[in-house]
Amino acid sequence: MKGIFGSGTKDFLAVRITALILLVYCIYLTFFVFHNAPISFDVWEGLFQNVFMKIFTTLFLLSFSVHTWVGTWAIGSDYLTIARMGSLGPIVNKLYRTLCALIVGCVTLWSLIIIW
């Protein structure tokens, strides 16, 4: 198994490094919402107008795409296999990966357009 980035070690690191970025972003956003509760449109929009927040959000979205791309691969390579599904496995897995790619791609692109 070669994973996504060519080796298990690289996949391992990619998932964990992106996980930390996702976590820091979530904690920051939670803190921001609590600190400004009840949040108004101006404060909310102001947050995402800030250029640092735009960069941070972009980093979050890129991390999201890598994290979920590897994560969904791990799920598919565990369950959608010949051992579990017979000869149907590879076909179902291929369909599943295409669907995942579509979701990851569209969602990331869409959210980047919203942010910038």
Contact positions with another protein (CB under 8 A) in 43-82: 44-45, 48, 64, 68, 71-72, 75
The C-alpha atoms of residue 87 and residue 3 are separated, in whole angstroms, by: 21
The C-alpha atoms of residue 93 and residue 82 are separated, in whole angstroms, by: 10
Among 21, 59, 92, 107, binds another protein (CB under 8 A): 107
The C-alpha atoms of residue 60 and residue 17 are separated, in whole angstroms, by: 11
Quick check: bond before 38 cis, omega within 30? yes
CA dihedral over 82, 88, 91, 94, signed as positive or negative: negative
- Token digits for 84? 């579990």
Q: Does 6 bind another protein (CB under 8 A)?
A: no
Residue that the structure tokens 């640092």 belong to: 52
Among 8, 55, 84, 101, binds another protein (CB under 8 A): 84
Q: Does 111 bind another protein (CB under 8 A)?
A: yes
The site map against another protein for 10-39 (x = CB under 8 A) is --x---x--xx--x--x-------------
Which residues here bind another protein, judged by CB under 8 A? 12, 16, 19-20, 23, 26, 41-42, 44-45, 48, 64, 68, 71-72, 75, 83-84, 103, 107, 110-111, 114
